[in-house]
Amino acid sequence: MASTMRKVSLRNLAAHKVRLALTVLAVLLGTSFVAGSLVFTGTMSSAFNGIFDKVAVGVDAQITPRNNGSGGFAGRSQTLGIPDSVISQLQQDRQQLHIAKIEPAYTGAVAIAKKDGSALQSGGAPSVGVAWTPPEQAINPHAERIVSGHAPQGPTQVALNDSAAKKAHLSVGDTTKLVVANGTGKPMQVTIVGISKSVADTTGYVQVSFQKATAERLFSDGSHASSVSISAQPGTSSDQLVAQLKAKFPQYKIETGAQVRKDAKAAINGFLQVFNYILLAFAGIGLVVGTFLIYNTFSMIVAQRVRELALLRSIGASKRQISRSVLLEALVIGLVGGLVGLGVGIGIAAGLKALLSASGSGLPSSSLVIGPTPVIACLVVGVVVTTISAWFPARRASKVSPVEAMREGQTDGQSSILVRTIIGLVFAVFGIVLIAGAAASKGGGGPAGLVGLGGVLLVIAIVLAGPAISRPVIRLVGFLARPFGKIGQLARTNAVRNPRRTAATAFSLTLGLMLVAVIGTMGSSLKGSIEQAVKSDITGDLIVSPQNTAALPTGVGQDVRSVQGVGTVVQMLNMLDATGNGKSVNGAVGVSGDLASVFKYTMIQGSSTIHPEGMLISDKMAKDDGWKVGQTIGLTTKAGTSAQVPITGIYKANTFSSGALVGISAYDKLVPAQLRSTNVVIINVAQGAKVSTVENRVGLAMKDYLTVRVQTKEQFANSNASSINQLLVVLYGMLGLALVIAVLGIINTLALSVVERRREIGMLRAVGMARAQVRRMIYVESILIALFGALLGMVVGVVIGWALVKTFEPVLTGIHPIIPWGTVVFTLIAAAVVGLLAALWPGIRAARTKPLEAIADV
């Protein structure tokens, strides 16, 4: 019997190829994202590891400043570096410390213009200037070499790395513009004299090599190096050298080459983890939704096979054999889905890599690495998810009694949904209480977590109470079916005919679109709040700001002031992290000019004018730190500079600022010239000047700074939310995935419903329903199911998003919830379209039903 049962299972799979394909597709959607994310991150981390294995080769010790932010990759330098005194000390103690070579590095962020004059974008990769070390002087002579031209010699000669030169269309002999991002400098003209190649090249990476003296002048104050690498004489180990150096220079961070490599790898892996989380989130959605799809499919398969199963039971198959036969089908589907998912996942990883490489995001180019982890994860997830999803239907199948074989009509979904509805409502109440409580609280990370927990409870509530909710909600959206008359009514009643099935089908949309609504609400709140604040708080006419996250040198301010037609200019400068009276002073900015003339802020105490030697603090700081007007604070930066700064006023914290506003003289004392950079410049045009004319003139004056934007207040408001737009890309990805899965789920459900209702449809055809009307009936039914799912997801998602924003409100001043009506409406329309698309094929199948099928038992 066992082999017969197996034969029955396998024949069943083969007999329903479309159903098989749809179910496999459901498994595949989840598993492919699991495989894709694991393969992608595996490939990337192995590629980066390969690159970082070549970093600091031969270096036995590296001296870097402490507290310098996140080493090298992005992050603004907080200190000047390692003073020359340390280097000369090292030179002196060379023999005593068994030092072979000392290699100081001088490096800093730069922007370079392409041949056409526009800035060369490095994407996510660094764009840096360095001091050229001839191979014979370098610790690792193979790290870098000049492949054409020669090494830079004069103050305006540079070598550019090969991949950047290609991207910028620059070759040896070309002259171009270059800007050092930090410091007080202005754009300079440089000549490419050489093309270099480095072992640590990644796509997008830009490296401009200067003569050492030039680099020292550009990237330091002339008496500091960014870092110092040291190699030991033969016979002295790295650890010995590091130990000795640590004893000698306890104020610096000293690591072996291996540690440097390890740190670099850890930093990049942390960065890759973000990708991994996003992709795994997609995989999670795919799997959770896929589970419902598979569960639904197996439920229907069992319902349709009631007669067959009862026949098997009556001829002696045991309950266990029946459930095992269903589970065997699930196992096969899970395996196939897992395997195909692995293939598709590898494709996703390859596509993602190609996409990111093409956009120059700083990722290394290498071939895909497929380790055992994605393969095992994919197959295990596929099989486990499918088998679990099929477990309940399988148990139900085994309970089929032989008598049921003879009974007419449907047997699925007739049992009571009362108990699950009540449990679901309890979950819903708890979820809503949590969310409401968190939203009403003082905010912060804890309440945000509670909102998340409440969200999870609501999702469980939807799963449990979904069938019961489906009736009223579909009645609500059923007005859309009214224009279709009787056809619409039939569609509406069909949609609620089997509430469990409707709810399970719609769940894929509910979950996916719920996430869309959460992200959409958060995005629109942040974006909208910032936009509103820009429009209401900034009174200046023009805003000059750096592109992306790049910094601008302070020279921008002077150049703007000299433009004809410019009136008031206020320059905001980036401060270093500092401490004052033992408390950390974060989010401080230096202000040059009359801030009150371009920006609206409310004073609680004192004058709005920022004294050059003093500072204003926010009411928040006053409360948190207990500081008062008239008090003088001794501020000390991480670079070691300090100044006595009196508090001259307290302002009300707003969307843009809740830290100290430091006067320009105090700023200059606190921030060494090399570490200064411009945050933003706000301009009022002079009386009688036209804003657009001045805008053009400022734009022209700023052109050579390369990574600069000159915008009106409105443009600034719109573009300010670029990081939020990245969030929205993820949102549309999720929307797409949810819709694709939903299409599959709805196709599956409808196709099977059409088969089940064959006789009824035949009867309708017999009494005069035209084919087009049958099709329309299925379309409307599908759209109603889709809208039910979408509406539920939108409502819950918006509520969660709203509550999350509420928890941010006390932390992020000025941020308030804004419901993204546009996204909501667009999503509902998209859901309806998806419903229609999903119904096309089942609709055609239904319309093909012959009237005779009502009578004949075909």
The nearer residue to other proteins, 618 or 753, going by C-beta atoms, is 753
Among 489, 581, 665, 712, binds other proteins (CB under 8 A): 489
Separation in Å, CA 152 to CA 143, 155, 175: 17, 8, 13
> Is residue 501 part of the contact set for other proteins (CB under 8 A)?
no
The nearer residue to other proteins, 724 or 766, going by C-beta atoms, is 766
Smallest distance from the beta carbon of 471 to other proteins, in angstroms? 12
729, two tokens: 């890309």
Q: How many CB atoms lie within 10 A of CB 269?
A: 15
Q: Which stretch binds other proteins (CB under 8 A): 13-21, 542-550, 692-700, 756-764?
A: 756-764
Q: Which stretch binds other proteins (CB under 8 A): 444-452, 520-528, 540-548, 757-765?
A: 757-765
Per CB under 8 A, which of residues 412..451 are in contact with other proteins? none
Collapsed DSSP state (helix, strand, coil) of residue 148? strand
The nearer residue to other proteins, 253 or 759, going by C-beta atoms, is 759
Smallest distance from the beta carbon of 726 to other proteins, in angstroms? 47
Query: Three-class SS string for 522-533?
Result: HHHHHHHHHHHH
> Is residue 760 part of the contact set for other proteins (CB under 8 A)?
yes
H helices within 656-721, ranges in order? 664-670, 691-702, 713-719
Smallest distance from the beta carbon of 759 to other proteins, in angstroms? 5
Handedness of CA 461, 465, 466, 472 (dihedral sign): negative
Closest C-alpha among 763, 803, 757 to residue 778: 757
678, two tokens: 């411009």
H helices within 703-770, ranges in order? 713-719, 722-756, 758-766
> Is residue 150 part of the contact set for other proteins (CB under 8 A)?
no
> Is residue 281 part of the contact set for other proteins (CB under 8 A)?
no
> Is residue 487 part of the contact set for other proteins (CB under 8 A)?
yes
Among 517, 589, 769, 787, binds other proteins (CB under 8 A): 769
Helix 319-358 and helix 17-52: axis angle, to 10°? Answer: 40
Smallest distance from the beta carbon of 519 to other proteins, in angstroms? 38
Q: Which stretch binds other proteins (CB under 8 A): 68-76, 77-85, 364-372, 492-500?
A: 492-500
Helix 445-477 and helix 485-495: axis angle, to 10°? Answer: 140
Per CB under 8 A, which of residues 772..831 are in contact with other proteins? 773
Within 8 A by CB and 6+ apart from 802, the residues are 439, 521, 525, 817, 819
> Is residue 185 part of the contact set for other proteins (CB under 8 A)?
no
Residue with tokens 């590095």: 105
Smallest distance from the beta carbon of 742 to other proteins, in angstroms? 24
> Is residue 854 part of the contact set for other proteins (CB under 8 A)?
yes
Smallest distance from the beta carbon of 408 to other proteins, in angstroms? 7
Phi-psi region of 364 (alpha: psi -120 to 50; beta: other; left: phi over 0): beta
Phi-psi region of 185 (alpha: psi -120 to 50; beta: other; left: phi over 0): beta
Smallest distance from the beta carbon of 844 to other proteins, in angstroms? 14
Smallest distance from the beta carbon of 399 to other proteins, in angstroms? 23
Q: Which stretch binds other proteins (CB under 8 A): 152-160, 472-480, 493-501, 818-826?
A: 493-501
Among 759, 795, 836, 840, binds other proteins (CB under 8 A): 759
The nearer residue to other proteins, 130 or 490, going by C-beta atoms, is 490
> Is residue 765 part of the contact set for other proteins (CB under 8 A)?
yes
Instruction: Output DSSP code: residue 190.
Output: E
The nearer residue to other proteins, 395 or 771, going by C-beta atoms, is 771
Instruction: Output DSSP code: residue 555.
Output: H
> Is residue 766 part of the contact set for other proteins (CB under 8 A)?
yes
Q: Which stretch binds other proteins (CB under 8 A): 293-301, 609-617, 760-768, 818-826?
A: 760-768
CA angle 371, 376, 377 (to 5 degrees): 100
Hey, which residues does 197 pair with through a beta bridge?
A: 145
Q: Which stretch binds other proteins (CB under 8 A): 43-51, 104-112, 201-209, 770-778?
A: 770-778
Smallest distance from the beta carbon of 403 to other proteins, in angstroms? 18
Q: Which stretch binds other proteins (CB under 8 A): 260-268, 697-705, 718-726, 768-776?
A: 768-776
Rounded to whole angstroms, how far apart are CA atoms 383 and 328?
A: 11
Among 273, 314, 493, 607, binds other proteins (CB under 8 A): 493
> Is residue 246 part of the contact set for other proteins (CB under 8 A)?
no
> Is residue 771 part of the contact set for other proteins (CB under 8 A)?
yes
- With b for 16 or more beta-carbon neighbours within 10 A and e for fewer, the 213-236 pattern comes to ebbbbbbbeeebbbbbbbbbeeeb
Hey, which residues does 209 pair with through a beta bridge?
A: 130, 159
Assess contact for 182 and 679: CB atoms under 8 A.
Answer: no
The nearer residue to other proteins, 459 or 487, going by C-beta atoms, is 487
Collapsed DSSP state (helix, strand, coil) of residue 144? strand
Smallest distance from the beta carbon of 474 to other proteins, in angstroms? 12
Instruction: Give me the residues that bind other proteins (CB under 8 A), please.
Output: 408-409, 485-487, 489-490, 493-494, 497, 759-760, 762-771, 773, 850-852, 854-855
